Amino acid sequence: MRRVAYQHYIPPVNFGYVENDLYRCGQPNELNFPFMEKLGLRCIVWLAPEEPNQNVMDFVDDQDIQLHHLGVQEGGNASDPITEDMILEAFDLILDTRNHPMAIMCNIGRHRTGTMVGCLRKLQRWNLASIFEEYRRFAGPKVRILNEQFIELFDTDLVRVPVSPPPWL
């Protein structure tokens, strides 16, 4: 009897569909690369303060994906909260459809990614209860009240919406 080799498609930790051609997740590993390849990503918005690991950097190079590392702060560390400037810089990339398909990532895809997606939901005029429910679903037992406060107080009027925004905005 002949065995058939099956390709397994395993999404990264905290993977989620945000909108058409927009995804969220934690840092993928080698097991996730076949899945990630199927997404046909053009761009990754990386929100963690440290660089992605070398395997991710090699994958990005092999797939010709643009990586935008926005998580770096002068003298900052991994526990520093996300900043308004980071969010606004990420929006410039996320709302430009030339960058799609795109993934928003941080190490685990929980706090920084969740805050970014929460601010996007606010820009989409979701109600706060729904925004926080989505944030908490990905954060699990490690919800950070400061991130929820950041989302609640985020001023969407600061976001530069392009002339031709994505259809989901």
Asked if residues 70 and 83 have their Cβ atoms less than 8 Å apart, the reply is no
Confidence of residue 123 (pLDDT cuts 50, 70, 90): very high
Cβ atoms 67, 46 nearer than 8 A: yes
- What does the pLDDT look like over 19-76, one tens digit per residue? 999 999 999 999 999 999 999 999 999 999 999 999 999 999 999 999 999 977 655 5
Q: Specify if 163 maps to a domain.
A: no
* Residue 3: band (very low, low, confident or very high) from pLDDT cuts 50, 70, 90: low
CATH code where residue 33 lies: 3.90.190.10
Domain count, the chain: 1
Residue 158 lies in a domain: no
Residue 131 covered by a domain: no
Q: What is the band of 8 on the pLDDT scale with cuts at 50, 70, 90?
A: confident
Per-residue pLDDT, averaged over 102-111, amounts to 95
78 located within any domain? yes
Q: Is residue 10 part of a domain?
A: no
**Integer Cα distance of 105 and 45 in angstroms:** 6
Q: What is the pLDDT of residues 139-165, one digit of tens each?
A: 998 889 999 999 999 999 999 999 999
> Looking at the domain assignment, is residue 7 inside a domain?
no
Residues 91, 165: Cα–Cα separation, whole Å: 11
CB 28 within 8 A of CB 53: no
Cα 21 to the center of its chain, rounded Å: 12
C-alpha pair distances (Å), 125 with each of 97, 110, 147 = 20, 21, 18
Q: Is residue 43 annotated as part of the catalytic site, yes or no?
A: no
Which residue range(s) make up the domain with 110? 16-114
Beta bridge mates, 23: 17, 103
Does any domain span residue 124? no
* 136 pLDDT above the threshold of 80: yes
**Nearest of 54, 52, 119, 134 to residue 82 by alpha carbon:** 119
Looking at the predicted structure, is the pLDDT value of residue 105 above 60? yes
Catalytic residue (one of 25, 43, 106, 119): 106
Residue 70 lies in a domain: yes
